[in-house]
């Protein structure tokens, strides 16, 4: 591969913002400096652009089987959309089948991704039954670079595990250098509320939210951290945190010096319960778990991001179409018409994360550009064992680089997005900032609105131990 020189841009990392050129040799960053001159190098002009490390989305579900259907993006369509949005690494969730070895899920997800992904990808493992055998297999997974395990405190009979199982897995994660990621909602209470609502003939999508109160998330979050403390002060990472009550628990445990971490997602920063009141069945677009909350939670989440009680913004990208037959896909959200509890849980977002957070965060003065990079690339790379290969611009790091135009505006829409789903939760929203050129390991894969990469070029990332900072 010839050398590439990115000239005249403003480098933005989690630590700094300065004008410099970046030299790429093969797949790696070879030099960063001013006035770099390299004979024969291909030049990319980055004047007026921010030059940032490619975004890292550590929470995606490509082709996730859920509620009798599958998430509509596969590794090809989903990672292509990610690239268009400025994300060059994803970490997706493999799912253990009941009673099956973790190796089976690992192999199945590698098969789904190989030959399809266009950006690099890692895997977490969703553990559904915490047997002695599985506790042993967790070590093999860590050795294979699948160093994080998601457990669910919700979805009884589908994903939920009990406190004893969580406790055992936490203890084991500390022994083997893995990280437990928790879906924290009180599934038992929610189940009772769902049954009660259905018995009262409440079937519309909004009842998904009304039966999953924020207190159920707060309680489960506090319980999860208490279990981690009892396990000896084990690190714990809460996924898709949506509610002030849950954030309060994160803050409490962090203030006590415990290794408590959490991510939130754009949907919880920009959408709210009001979306469930959209006419007809449109509220189904926003059926996800945890659900969207009342608007006032958003301010609390922004405070959490500003004060580092929330360290990561991921997407929980898990799209399901509203209409049957879109690009040949089967019935998805429609499965729950007439019964909100049958609406597949999840929404699209892998393409829109970087722009939404830039617009709502940097452009509106809530966070700095460096904090934006830290939340969307650097800390995700550190916590998920990818740093410094990914997540920063440094000599020796992978040349995953995005040229970001901070002045450009774009209108988010299903008409123009690349995700394989027939709606966009942010339809019509005008946002500032856009990825104009995207490089993955030195190769330009998106430029001027065109995809230039090759299907299947993405590589599996063997992740290392988490780097956990306060
Ligand atoms: O609604 C959601 N979040 N769907 C994906 C599965 C999960 O819990 O992350
Ligand atoms: Zn979850
Ligand atoms: Zn998820």
Beta-strand (E) ranges in 127-282?
148-152, 179-183, 236-238, 260-264
Q: Which residue's CA is minimally distant from atom 4 of ligand 1?
A: 346
Q: What local confidence, expressed as pLDDT, does residue 369 receive?
A: 99
- Atom from ligand 1 closest to the CA of residue 61: 5
d(CA 209, CA 292): 7
Mutate to test the pocket of ligand 1, among 318, 336, 340 (most ligand atoms within 8 A of CB): 318
- The neighbouring-strand residues paired with 405 are 434
- Atom from ligand 1 closest to the CA of residue 152: 8
CB of residue 187 inside a 6 A radius of ligand 1: no
Determine how β-strand 401-411 pairs with β-strand 430-440.
antiparallel
Distance 61 CA to ligand 3 centre (A): 6
Q: What does residue 58 show for φ and ψ, rounded to 5 degrees?
A: -90, 20
Q: What local confidence, expressed as pLDDT, does residue 470 receive?
A: 81
CB of residue 316 inside a 6 A radius of ligand 1: yes
Which burial class, exposed, middle or buried, applies to 54 when counting CB atoms under 10 A from its CB (0-12, 13-18, 19+)?
A: buried
Q: What local confidence, expressed as pLDDT, does residue 469 receive?
A: 86
DSSP letter at 309?
A: S
* The token pair that represents 363 in the structure block: 């452009």
Q: List, for the chain, all residue ranges whose pLDDT scores fall below the cut of 70.
A: none
Delineate the domains of the chain, giving CATH numbers in brackets: 4-52+392-408+421-451 (2.30.40.10), 55-383 (3.20.20.140)
| 3-class state of residue 332 by DSSP | coil
Distance 268 CA to ligand 1 centre (A): 13
Q: What local confidence, expressed as pLDDT, does residue 19 receive?
A: 98
Number of H helices, E strands in the chain: 13, 19
Q: Which residue's CA is minimally distant from atom 5 of ligand 1?
A: 346
Beta-strand (E) ranges in 239-306?
260-264
Distance 346 CA to ligand 1 centre (A): 5
CB of residue 216 inside a 6 A radius of ligand 1: no
Mutate to test the pocket of ligand 1, among 127, 184, 315, 346 (most ligand atoms within 8 A of CB): 346
CB 227 within 8 A of CB 233: no
Q: Which residue's CA is minimally distant from atom 7 of ligand 1?
A: 289
- Atom from ligand 1 closest to the CA of residue 239: 9
* CB neighbours of residue 47 within 10 Å: 9
- The C-alpha torsion from 32 through 401 and 360 to 236, rounded to 10°, is -100
Q: Is the peptide bond before 412 cis (omega within 30 degrees of 0)?
A: no
Say whether pTM exceeds 0.95. Answer: yes
- What letters, b where the CB count within 10 A reaches 16 and e where it falls short, cover 186-207? bbebbbebbeebeeeeeebbbb
Q: What local confidence, expressed as pLDDT, does residue 16 receive?
A: 97
Quick one: the chain helix, strand, coil %, rounded to 5?
Answer: 35, 25, 45
């Amino acid at each position: 591969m010839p050398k590439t020189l990115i000239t005249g841009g403003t480098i933005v990392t989690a630590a700094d913002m300065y004008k410099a050129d970046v030299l790429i040799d093969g797949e790696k960053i070879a030099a960063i400096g001013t006035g770099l001159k390299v004979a024969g190098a291909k030049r990319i002009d980055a004047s007026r652009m921010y030059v940032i490390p490619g975004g890292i989305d550590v929470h995606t579900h490509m082709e996730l089987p859920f509620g009798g259907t599958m998430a509509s993006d596969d590794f090809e369509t989903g990672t292509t959309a990610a690239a268009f949005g400025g994300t060059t690494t994803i970490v997706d969730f493999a799912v253990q089948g009941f009673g099956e070895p973790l190796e089976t899920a690992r192999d199945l997800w590698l098969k789904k991704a190989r030959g399809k992904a266009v950006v690099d990808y890692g895997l977490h493992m969703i553990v559904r039954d915490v047997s002695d055998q599985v506790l042993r297999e967790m070590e093999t997974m860590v050795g294979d670079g699948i160093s994080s395990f998601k457990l669910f405190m919700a979805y009884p009979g589908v994903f939920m595990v009990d406190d004893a199982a969580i406790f055992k897995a936490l203890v084991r994660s500390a022994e083997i250098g893995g990280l437990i990621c928790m879906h924290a909602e009180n599934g038992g209470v929610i189940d009772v509320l769902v049954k009660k609502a259905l018995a009262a003939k409440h079937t519309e999508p909004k009842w998904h939210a009304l039966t999953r109160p924020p207190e159920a998330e707060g309680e489960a979050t506090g319980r999860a951290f208490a279990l981690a403390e009892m396990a000896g002060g084990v690190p714990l990472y809460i996924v898709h945190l949506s509610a002030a009550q849950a954030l309060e628990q994160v803050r409490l445990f962090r203030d006590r010096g415990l290794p408590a971490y959490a991510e939130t997602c754009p949907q919880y920063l920009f959408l709210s319960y009001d979306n469930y009141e959209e006419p007809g069945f449109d509220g189904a677009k926003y059926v996800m778990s945890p659900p969207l909350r009342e608007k006032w939670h958003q301010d609390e989440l922004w405070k959490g991001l500003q004060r580092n009680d929330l360290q990561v913004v991921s997407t929980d990208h898990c799209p399901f179409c509203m209409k049957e037959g879109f690009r040949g896909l089967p019935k998805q959200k429609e499965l729950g018409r007439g019964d909100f509890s049958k609406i597949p849980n999840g929404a699209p977002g892998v393409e829109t994360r970087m722009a939404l957070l830039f617009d709502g965060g940097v452009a509106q003065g809530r966070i700095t550009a460096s904090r934006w990079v830290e939340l969307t690339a650097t800390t995700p790379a550190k916590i998920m064992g990818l740093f410094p290969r990914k997540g920063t611009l440094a000599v020796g790091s992978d040349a995953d680089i995005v040229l970001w135009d901070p002045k450009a505006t774009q209108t988010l829409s299903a008409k123009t997005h690349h995700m394989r789903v027939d709606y966009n939760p942010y339809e019509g929203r005008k946002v500032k900032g856009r990825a104009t050129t995207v490089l993955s390991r030195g190769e330009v894969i998106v430029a001027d609105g065109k995809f230039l990469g090759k299907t299947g070029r993405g590589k599996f990332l063997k992740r290392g131990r988490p780097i956990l900072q306060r």
